[in-house]
Amino acid sequence: MFILETLRLYTPVYTGFIRDIGKEATLGKLTGLDGVQCHIPFIMIHHDPKIWGEDVHAFKPERFLDGIAKATNNNPTAFMPFGMGHHICAGSNFAINEAKITIAMILQRYSLTLSPGYVHAPHPGLTLRPAYGIQIILNAL
């Protein structure tokens, strides 16, 4: 739940994806013409209060207690930190497993405290990363 909520708030691929509309299509009140490109930024979907609630900007891992479908009000396409469908990142499962193993190994040996000089500043680029690095203090257990 911790990892999923982190991926929702700080989507790894900040830019989202661009798709070409193959033929005229209508989505709600919008009509896309053949040949037009549609940009879908993941970060906007992951921060939509209509999907995630009024506390959309709060870090609440318990959102995912009953799975992604329940967290998104049965709209699993509202959570796509690594893309969706046949365009999903080939390394998404590796990234999730690597994160789980790394966090487990760190927490076995250390307690974590935010540095007093910590500045929360996500920096967008191709990927979203901390502008000033990870400012934490590791204390041996």
89 is in an annotated binding site: yes
- As a whole number of angstroms, the distance between CA 127 and CA 11 comes to 8
Long-range contacts of the stretch 134-137 (C-beta < 8 A, 24+):
136/112, 137/112, 137/113
- As a whole number of angstroms, the distance between CA 25 and CA 22 comes to 8
Task: Please report, in range form, the residues annotated as the binding site.
Answer: 89
Task: Please report, in range form, the residues annotated as the binding site for heme.
Answer: 89
